[in-house]
């Protein structure tokens, strides 16, 4: 069941050739070789995974900037808490992103709710699993794949027709730094995030010459609850740690807040970026993947030890 508050309208203009654009007082930018990009602040957006973490921070940031926000998550309590803190109009929807049919129903609800063109679709919902490949539980890996990858595909297919009809807007799909390099005990997570990256890169090329863009986001270590909500059957390193201990160790390495991540993502979208790296560690991952594509983990292991030592 959706709850609705009507979004305030904005000034809509039609550019040469009939493409719909919208001015909201922000400067218009133009990505290299592309069309002009109008900042998304003040324009309607849709965000999945909005009950916590980056999704909640995106919703709050954009709502403060005047954007009507359609927010969705399977966590009803967390979603209601996000909605309670939004200063502007919102469409609130409990949604399992694995359900393609329900994603299409949600897109139809958003289409009806809109009073001006949809500026951005953030396919952001995600989960984690920690396991070696040898001991992996196929059910856990399938659960993760359906949310992290299928959820992105479902959201893209449901909302892309709206953007294509407008010939305007941006699909923003959350990958990860683990979509840049493979990491031990994260095989399922890495596979899903590499898949998001490949899917979105392919979509971007299909959209060349249109007013619609596709963006991949690669967050580094963000201070969210993803590690505490992960599925963990046992310590994959064989050190006998509890789930709580493993989550605490992981969180000690995190340096970027969800609010800062949302700021970086929105700035990157507004600047017409095709790929957005979030956090200083994301740049380290990206550089190592380029200069040491088969030996990056040797360097990362040293950096991790130094970070853990500094966190004590």
When pLDDT is cut at 50, 70 and 90, the band that residue 182 belongs to is: very high
Concerning whether 189 is annotated as a catalytic residue, the answer is yes
Edge-to-edge strand list for the sheet holding 69-73? 3-4, 90-94, 69-73, 45-48, 120-123, 169-174, 212-219, 275-278
- CA–CA separation, 174 and 63 (whole Å): 20
- Quick one: average pLDDT of 197-206? 98
Taking all residues of the chain, what is their mean pLDDT, rounded to a whole number?
90
Judge whether residue 100 has pLDDT over 80.
Answer: yes
Segment 119-125 mean pLDDT = 98
- Whether 110 contacts 46, CB under 8 Å: yes
**End-to-end Cα spacing for the chain:** 47
11 or 301, higher pLDDT = 301
CA dist 96 and 153 (Å) reads 13
Evaluate whether 114 touches 44 at the Cβ level (below 8 Å): yes
CB 6 within 8 A of CB 89: yes
Alpha helices in 138-242 (DSSP H): 138-145, 151-166, 187-206
Q: Which of 189, 283, 296, 297 is catalytic?
A: 189
User: Which pLDDT band, with edges at 50, 70 and 90, does 49 fall under?
Assistant: very high
Q: How far apart are CA 261 and CA 273, in angstroms?
A: 15
Structure tokens at 203: 């979509």
CB 143 within 8 A of CB 97: no
Alpha helices in the chain (DSSP H): 53-64, 76-84, 100-113, 138-145, 151-166, 187-206, 243-251, 258-270, 280-291, 296-311
Q: How far apart are CA 215 and CA 202, in angstroms?
A: 11
Give the mean model confidence (pLDDT) for residues 199-215.
98
The region of weakest confidence among 1-5, 78-82, 151-155, 186-190 is: 1-5
Identify the CA nearest to 186 among candidates 153, 156, 221, 151: 221
Is residue 254 helix, strand or coil? coil
| Predicted confidence (pLDDT) at residue 33 exceeds the cutoff of 60 | no
């Amino acid at each position: 069941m959706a709850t609705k508050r009507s979004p305030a309208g904005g000034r809509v203009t039609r550019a040469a050739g009939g493409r719909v654009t919208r001015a909201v007082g922000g400067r218009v930018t133009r990505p290299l070789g592309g069309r002009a990009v109008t900042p998304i602040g003040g324009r309607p957006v849709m965000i999945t995974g909005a009950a916590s973490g980056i999704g909640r921070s995106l919703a709050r940031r954009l709502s403060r900037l005047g954007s009507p926000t359609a927010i969705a998550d399977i966590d009803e309590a967390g979603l209601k808490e996000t909605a309670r803190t939004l200063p502007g109009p919102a469409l609130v929807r409990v949604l399992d992103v694995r359900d393609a049919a329900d994603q299409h129903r949600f897109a139809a609800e958003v289409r009806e709710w809109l009073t001006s063109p949809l500026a951005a679709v953030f396919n952001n919902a995600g989960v984690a699993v920690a396991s070696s490949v040898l001991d992996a539980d196929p059910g856990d890996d399938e659960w993760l794949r359906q949310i992290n990858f299928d959820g992105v595909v479902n959201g893209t297919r449901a909302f892309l027709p709206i953007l294509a009809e407008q010939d305007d807007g941006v699909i923003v799909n959350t990958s990860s730094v683990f979509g840049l390099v493979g990491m031990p005990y994260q095989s399922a997570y890495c596979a899903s995030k590499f898949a998001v990256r490949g899917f979105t890169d392919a979509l971007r090329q299909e959209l060349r010459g249109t007013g619609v863009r596709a963006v991949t986001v690669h967050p580094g270590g963000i201070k969210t609850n993803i590690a505490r909500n992960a599925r963990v059957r046992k310590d994959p390193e064989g050190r006998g740690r509890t789930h709580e201990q493993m989550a605490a160790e992981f969180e000690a390495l995190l340096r970027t807040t969800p609010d800062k991540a949302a700021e970086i993502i929105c700035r990157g979208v507004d600047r017409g970026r095709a790929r957005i790296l979030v956090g200083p560690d994301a740049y380290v991952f990206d550089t190592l993947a380029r200069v040491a594509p088969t030996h990056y983990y040797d360097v990362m292991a040293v950096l991790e030890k130094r970070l853990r030592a500094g966190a004590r």
